Chains A and B, each alone.
Chain A
């Protein structure tokens, strides 16, 4: 196994295009687990954690978050998405949050990746770059299956981008342990009051992150009635209906972490709670 330490994006791209069987190492919190379990045996590793260009984070209405932004940094700064911040808070332990990156969460592309429902709800764009140039893929088109994405082996994830959607958003997940647990199911809700748009992303309840479009439409209808600019508590019945629709979009399976029945149930509870919480945020 060879390890190449890169300091520049161009150098990373050179390595990705010229060498065979190259694996990118960012924080390593997923990659090393895979290696330990013997699931992969990479022959060439390109370590990107010293590539400063990938650590940039800019926001001025439009947010661009470099692939190497860690969860700890998301918690320390205003990242331009409260839900993403809440997602960062749910992840791992302090040690993991210090090392693990958003690029790695996208690179792994697990249905349980906690930033991904938020990126889905934000309608974020994944920025990929190769020797051949840059392409921008809507998150909804990026993930194609469990741990599968449209990223080509010669492409580097350089950033995630989204429009600032304001403060009315949240992320939550259910797990049997109170910290350091992989979610049984997770839900992100973004109410973009300015653009009059509702986004709902569901995690750990299907092969990809799922957009709950019926629930989005239902909530948009509610805001159309009550007014998008005005915080207002939804009725219990409306919150429950929103939860029911969100859960209805899920395609859960039974696995060691949870059952189909529980996943549907808890998504409905999370949906109702999320709407009740977010609708009162200006």
Chain B
């Protein structure tokens, strides 16, 4: 794609920090989220969920609930019109449980009633007879040959083995480690919400807060027994997504209730239900070994990675593949064997979350890089720089990194950012424990840590990844105006602004309106994989170029200047373009060759103060250099970086869905702790702009890298302050105070098949 500069500079174009249209309404509480939608005569939906992690359903009795005041419909599995299963990648998840429930929170019945309260009360009045079965909650145990099978095809969701060079190579210096990540929640501030409106033609219109309208459509329609043409989706106001809205949650339920009652139905999850309603980040157990020469050149990486997929597959196959592909990090590794397996268990299902598999392995391989640096007595930044991938080097799947690969740059530029003031503060609010008034400086030690990470942008492995954009250039009494229509979900990342900026720059027109995304236009693909700027930005750019070409043709024909828009736009120009990135190759057994479109890199440096006596942490500063290709809207890019670091910090020191025997113990923001402004440090950002030749204006994605290496950088800093091993996140105060490292309870040689694990006695 060419990156020719536009002829006329226009305000609000590419490269400018443009204010988003949704920011002021959101700050003022005026933005209409999915949960704010209303319609005349609207009913409210509620869901009855399983209290058991694993049980047989012996009977469901809805008779009493049906008679309750306000109740208009109750639907259980036996009432489903057609297809009973849905799923992003595998058709394995029941719309409503029948036969068995496989996790706590699995939907069993849905109710529509005149008020939300009546719907909830009626749902509770449904009696379900369960025969509890013994749940499997350790993913390694689930993979062993003697484990009970949770699904017909067994407990393996996905099995990816990546081998490179001589996987059994030997090295002078070898370091080992085992690691664990707890379950993180996306914790979008807007819980799930949708409004379904039955249509005259027997179809349904669904207003939904989602990440991908067309994928929802593909999964919803068959479960309603309707052709896709009779199901129309419109994007409702989305209050954050982070991966949690990639899967279907209440979409099918809301439509089923609307069709059954012939009335509009709204479903909205509260915070607690949201914890049960959507997938989380995969908890992971990892076993690693790294080998290097005495001079500090990596010789091999071997790892076994087990991801807990929970009860249903969701996007686990792709998450497992990512954990494996990026399992050695942004380094030149000549020899590798990474065996990653995703297991079904009776824990809540896990799926997409910002960083998507790359987060889990990065925590482990960056800890390993620090161990290696210590073993070799080399500065950790130096070691990373020395092994950094360069343009043309292959990653462990044998795919060369092409286009732009400023890895050494992000590492060095990050390390060069000025350190914060060296003095430890004295006022408690700026110290570990914050408002707890715990230390006035007693026990506080400072530490510094580094980490780098990588991930793909766009969909990989042969997936037909495309986006569609329609651009219409017209004029009205106020002059020329462009309309941009795509189905790209604005989830808070700012794609609406990016589309408008591109249209302004390309068309030289200041007034641009971006229409509400819906399914009357072709798919834009998902607002995930850091891909919308590349894909939908690319589609808008291509459509604008076609519009521009038509404008020039008209000008030539009329013998007018192309700037004479008044005359040339007698008839509007309207173009719809489908944009695809270059083909990727499907995965085969061991290598993935050209599996990915392109790669994103970032490095983080964290400075932390730790109260070593109480085990509490205050992150003082995070510095980052990120490879963004080109910042189309710099203020938005910085926003993504700061937000992503906040999520990385959360995973490092506080965010975890606590499970015991499949039960969620903290399904509320009282005890699922998210960082507050007092926990979030100042972030110093350096943007590295090496345009990627295939991307619009060279802009790579920016959403995910901030979440990937910020976590290991913070934990490295805590290690530096405390001398503790800290091989599990989130790091708990106990880990710092008592120092007992995490042990998996399994003996696995890194790189081996986790199905042959041996219980450590």
How far apart sit A177 and B733, CA to CA, in the bound complex (Å)?
11
Q: How would residues 95 to 135 of chain A score, 1 for a CB under 8 Å from any chain B CB and 0 otherwise?
A: 00000000000000000000000000000000000000000
- Selected contact of B437 from candidates A89, A182, A266, A276, CB within 8 Å: A89
**A173 within 8 Å of B by Cβ?**
yes
How far apart sit A176 and B712, CA to CA, in the bound complex (Å)?
18
Chain B interface: which of A8-16, A56-64, A209-217, A253-261?
Answer: A253-261
Contacts of B737 in A (CB 8 A): 262, 265-266
| In contact, B679 and A262 (Cβ under 8 angstroms) | no
| In contact, B679 and A177 (Cβ under 8 angstroms) | yes
| In contact, B442 and A176 (Cβ under 8 angstroms) | no
Report the nearest B residue to A183, measured CB to CB: B436
Give the dominant DSSP class at A's interface: mixed
How far apart sit A174 and B737, CA to CA, in the bound complex (Å)?
13
- Selected contact of A182 from candidates B665, B670, B732, CB within 8 Å: B670
| In contact, A180 and B437 (Cβ under 8 angstroms) | no
| In contact, B435 and A178 (Cβ under 8 angstroms) | yes
How far apart sit A38 and B46, CA to CA, in the bound complex (Å)?
14
Q: Shortest Cβ distance from A38 into chain B, in angstroms?
A: 8
How far apart sit A36 and B613, CA to CA, in the bound complex (Å)?
37
| In contact, A170 and B614 (Cβ under 8 angstroms) | no
**A172 within 8 Å of B by Cβ?**
yes
Q: Shortest Cβ distance from A57 into chain B, in angstroms?
A: 22
- A residues 235-282 near B (Cβ < 8 Å) are 256-259, 261-262, 265-266, 269-270, 273, 276-277
Q: Shortest Cβ distance from B192 into chain A, in angstroms?
A: 17
Contacts of A179 in B (CB 8 A): 434-435, 676-679
- B residues 651-692 near A (Cβ < 8 Å) are 653-654, 658, 665-666, 668, 670-671, 673, 675-679
Total count of chain A residues near the partner, CB < 8 A: 37
Report the nearest B residue to A268, measured CB to CB: B613
How far apart sit A182 and B668, CA to CA, in the bound complex (Å)?
13
| In contact, B437 and A90 (Cβ under 8 angstroms) | yes
Contacts of A276 in B (CB 8 A): 442
Q: Shortest Cβ distance from A240 into chain B, in angstroms?
A: 11
| In contact, A261 and B433 (Cβ under 8 angstroms) | no
**B438 within 8 Å of A by Cβ?**
yes
Q: How would residues 613 to 653 of chain B score, 1 for a CB under 8 Å from any chain A CB and 0 otherwise?
A: 11110100000000000000000000000000000000001
- Selected contact of A177 from candidates B429, B438, B440, B675, CB within 8 Å: B675
**B270 within 8 Å of A by Cβ?**
yes
Q: Shortest Cβ distance from B277 into chain A, in angstroms?
A: 16
**B464 within 8 Å of A by Cβ?**
no
Contacts of A273 in B (CB 8 A): 438-439, 442
**A171 within 8 Å of B by Cβ?**
yes
Query: Given A36-B270, A259-B734 in contact, is the A176-B616 Cβ separation under 8 Å?
Result: yes
Contacts of A33 in B (CB 8 A): 670
| In contact, B438 and A270 (Cβ under 8 angstroms) | yes
| In contact, B673 and A262 (Cβ under 8 angstroms) | no
How far apart sit A273 and B573, CA to CA, in the bound complex (Å)?
74
| In contact, B438 and A176 (Cβ under 8 angstroms) | no
| In contact, A269 and B613 (Cβ under 8 angstroms) | yes
How far apart sit A262 and B671, CA to CA, in the bound complex (Å)?
17
| In contact, B676 and A175 (Cβ under 8 angstroms) | no
- Selected contact of A178 from candidates B442, B615, B618, B666, CB within 8 Å: B618
- A residues 21-53 near B (Cβ < 8 Å) are 33, 36-38
Report the nearest A residue to B428, measured CB to CB: A172
Contacts of B618 in A (CB 8 A): 178
Q: How would residues 254 to 265 of chain B score, 1 for a CB under 8 Å from any chain A CB and 0 otherwise?
A: 000000000000
Give the dominant DSSP class at B's interface: loop
Report the nearest A residue to B270, measured CB to CB: A36
Contacts of A90 in B (CB 8 A): 435-437
Report the nearest B residue to A257, measured CB to CB: B671
Report the nearest B residue to A180, measured CB to CB: B676
Report the nearest A residue to B434, measured CB to CB: A178
- A residues 170-200 near B (Cβ < 8 Å) are 170-184, 186
Report the nearest B residue to A38, measured CB to CB: B120
Query: Given A179-B676, A179-B679 in contact, is the A173-B614 Cβ separation under 8 Å?
Result: no
- Selected contact of A173 from candidates B438, B615, B733, CB within 8 Å: B438
| In contact, B437 and A256 (Cβ under 8 angstroms) | no
| In contact, A175 and B437 (Cβ under 8 angstroms) | no
How far apart sit A93 and B435, CA to CA, in the bound complex (Å)?
10
**B738 within 8 Å of A by Cβ?**
yes
| In contact, A172 and B734 (Cβ under 8 angstroms) | no
Total count of chain B residues near the partner, CB < 8 A: 39
Contacts of A86 in B (CB 8 A): 437
How far apart sit A277 and B436, CA to CA, in the bound complex (Å)?
15
**B349 within 8 Å of A by Cβ?**
no
Q: Shortest Cβ distance from A13 into chain B, in angstroms?
A: 31
Which of A37, A90, A93, A181 counts the most chain B CB atoms within 10 A? Answer: A181
**B272 within 8 Å of A by Cβ?**
yes
| In contact, B671 and A256 (Cβ under 8 angstroms) | yes
| In contact, A176 and B733 (Cβ under 8 angstroms) | yes
Contacts of B658 in A (CB 8 A): 256
Which of B437, B440, B654, B666 counts the most chain A CB atoms within 10 A? Answer: B437
**B45 within 8 Å of A by Cβ?**
no
| In contact, B616 and A174 (Cβ under 8 angstroms) | yes
Which of A178, A184, A256, A277 counts the most chain B CB atoms within 10 A? Answer: A178
**B432 within 8 Å of A by Cβ?**
yes
How far apart sit A36 and B653, CA to CA, in the bound complex (Å)?
28
Report the nearest B residue to A93, measured CB to CB: B676
Report the nearest A residue to B658, measured CB to CB: A256
Contacts of B675 in A (CB 8 A): 177
Q: Shortest Cβ distance from B7 into chain A, in angstroms?
A: 51
| In contact, B676 and A178 (Cβ under 8 angstroms) | yes
Q: Shortest Cβ distance from A105 into chain B, in angstroms?
A: 16
| In contact, B734 and A37 (Cβ under 8 angstroms) | no
Query: Given A179-B676, A265-B737 in contact, is the A172-B438 Cβ separation under 8 Å?
Result: yes
Q: Shortest Cβ distance from A279 into chain B, in angstroms?
A: 14
- B residues 46-95 near A (Cβ < 8 Å) are none
| In contact, A175 and B433 (Cβ under 8 angstroms) | yes
How far apart sit A63 and B671, CA to CA, in the bound complex (Å)?
35
Contacts of A170 in B (CB 8 A): 437
How far apart sit A33 and B270, CA to CA, in the bound complex (Å)?
12
Contacts of A175 in B (CB 8 A): 433, 436, 616
Q: Shortest Cβ distance from A259 into chain B, in angstroms?
A: 6
Contacts of A89 in B (CB 8 A): 435, 437
Query: Given A36-B270, A257-B671 in contact, is the A266-B436 Cβ separation under 8 Å?
Result: no
How far apart sit A181 and B433, CA to CA, in the bound complex (Å)?
10
| In contact, A262 and B437 (Cβ under 8 angstroms) | no
How far apart sit A199 and B559, CA to CA, in the bound complex (Å)?
94
Contacts of B677 in A (CB 8 A): 179
Contacts of A171 in B (CB 8 A): 437
How far apart sit A161 and B738, CA to CA, in the bound complex (Å)?
41
| In contact, B437 and A177 (Cβ under 8 angstroms) | no
Q: Shortest Cβ distance from B255 into chain A, in angstroms?
A: 27
Query: Given A261-B738, A273-B442 in contact, is the A176-B654 Cβ separation under 8 Å?
Result: yes
- Selected contact of A176 from candidates B443, B665, B732, CB within 8 Å: B732
Q: Shortest Cβ distance from B120 into chain A, in angstroms?
A: 8
Report the nearest A residue to B665, measured CB to CB: A256
| In contact, A266 and B614 (Cβ under 8 angstroms) | yes
How far apart sit A259 and B734, CA to CA, in the bound complex (Å)?
8
How far apart sit A258 and B615, CA to CA, in the bound complex (Å)?
12
- B residues 421-475 near A (Cβ < 8 Å) are 429, 432-440, 442-443
Report the nearest A residue to B668, measured CB to CB: A37
How far apart sit A184 and B616, CA to CA, in the bound complex (Å)?
12
How far apart sit A201 and B508, CA to CA, in the bound complex (Å)?
70
- Selected contact of A174 from candidates B433, B676, B738, CB within 8 Å: B433
Report the nearest A residue to B440, measured CB to CB: A277
Contacts of A180 in B (CB 8 A): 435, 676
Question: Apart from A37-B272, A175-B616, A176-B673, what are 5 other A-B pairs with CB-CB below 8 Å?
Answer: A90-B436, A174-B616, A177-B654, A179-B434, A256-B665
- Show 5 A/B contacts (Cβ-Cβ < 8 Å), sorted by A: A174-B733, A175-B616, A256-B671, A261-B738, A276-B442
The 9 A-B pairs of least Cβ separation, nearest first, read: A178-B434, A179-B678, A178-B678, A172-B437, A173-B436, A177-B673, A179-B676, A269-B613, A179-B435
